[in-house]
Structures are given as structure tokens and as C-alpha cells.
Amino acid sequence: MMLVSRCLRLVLHDVLTPSCLHHFLLEFVGTALFLSASLSAVLIRPDLRSAASLTNQSHLSVGPESGAAPVCPLHVVLVFGLSVAMAALCVGGAAHLNPAVSIAMALTLRLRLWRAVLYVIGQLLGGVASAGLLMVLTGDVMPAVNQVSSGVQLHQAVTVETLVTLQLVLVVLKTTDISLPAAAAPLLVGLAVSLGHLVAVGATGCGMNPARSFGPAVVTLDFRNHWVFWAGPALGACLAALLNDLLLQPRWRCPKDWW
């Protein structure tokens, strides 16, 4: 009992520093910023149905149940990649903005566990805040919820999510290990996010970031297959941590280092 309270006090002592709270705020602001921008691009769109009726372009309206035009996949790819890059640049290049990244950082002992937990909470709150903002603004955030596409099976979806998170976390770990020119790290992460969306936008809408999937799911209370968007990224982050530290940039030199 005493031990627990002592541990807790130590943790709180570490957590309640100005620096740590500042990082918590940066994660919250950064995630809210990039998700607000990305989700706005998907949700606030011209009503093509009414525009079509004006100009008589009836063959462009895509059915009576959807008034807005479908978004071009490349548009989605670019807006997510760029918004993550710009948000990471604005809040400082060291922000994670993604629970999967924080998990990998904690797993490879680059970040203390308590800090990682705090960062993840900040990211999830940021995701919920921006989804809530868009709910208030547009009244419907269903098109922004990550869903497994029709014709794509669950094990395919999980594999794709694992793969895209794997490459994202590998890039993030690399950018923290080599010295880069200023502003290069956010841009590289943005490119990795773009690549992830290029790969997965057709299959799952591309989660790759549990905070991004969690926000719209909470606001719409639509948790169908939601576990996919936690299991895939978590698995990808673990694989990336192992692959990077054991094989790509090994922390050991010869087999003897293992015992």
C-alpha cells in the first residue's frame, strides 16, 4: 500500500512538471488541429445535388441518398499527409500526434511509460474535440468515420492497417535517430502518412492513428469493427519497434550482447 502511494507520488512528480504538461497540451492542440483540417475537407463540401439541379447535370448526382459529391481519394491522401506535416511543424517537430507512435516510443524505452499514457490521453481528447467541433458545425460526421469497405475482409483490413502503421513508425523512429535539417522531420512524417493513405484509403479509409479513428467513432457512437483501428496500429507499432531496434539499426553489435 505504501509502495503504491510512493510510486504514484514519484509518477506525479514527473508528470506534473511544466515541461510535461506543455507536451500534453501540444499533443492535444496538434491532434485537434490536424484532425479539424482533415475532417473539414471531408465533411464541409458543396451540395452537388442542388448544384446539379441548377445546371441540369443530372448524371453527376450520385443517387438520392447522398447530396454531397464523393471525395477524390487523392484529395484525402494529400489533406491528411499535409495536415499532419503542418500540425507537427507548428507544435514543434517532437510531437507524436498518434497513439501508435507513443506506444512504439515507450516500447523502445525512448519515452517513460507515464508520459506515453499522458500523451495518448491528450491525443484522444484532441481527436474527440475536433470531431465534436465538426459535429456541431455540420450535424453529421458519419462520412469521416473509419469503416472497413465493402468487399474487404476483416483480416485484410487488419493487415493493411498493420502495414501502414509499421512503415509510419519506422519513419518516425528513423527521424528521431538521425540528425535532420530543421523542419525535415515533420515533412518526412507527412510523407509517411500520405503513403499510408495511398495504401489503405480504399480498404479502410486509412486509420493508422487510433486518435483519428476514435474521435468520429465517439461522436457518432458507431463502433462497428472499431477494434480493427486499434489492433492494427498497435501491432504495427510493436513490429516496427522490434524491426528497427533489432535489425535495421541494431542496438547490439555481436551475438554476445544478448546475454
Q: Kindly write out the interface string for residues 112-141 of this chain, putting x where it contacts a second copy by CB under 8 A and - elsewhere.
A: -------------------------xx---
Q: Which stretch binds a second copy (CB under 8 A): 100-108, 110-118, 148-156, 211-219?
A: 148-156
Is 239 a binding residue for a second copy by CB under 8 A? The answer is no
Within positions 66 to 105, which residues make up the interface with a second copy, using CB under 8 A? Answer: 66-68, 72-75, 77-79, 82-83, 85-87, 89-92
Which residues have CB under 8 Å from 205's CB, separation 6+?
76, 145, 146, 147, 149
Q: How far is the CB of 85 from a second copy (least distance, A)?
A: 7
Q: How far is the CB of 107 from a second copy (least distance, A)?
A: 17
Q: Out of 117, 121, 198, 231, which residue is the one contacting a second copy (CB under 8 A)?
A: 198
Is 256 a binding residue for a second copy by CB under 8 A? The answer is no
Is 231 a binding residue for a second copy by CB under 8 A? The answer is no
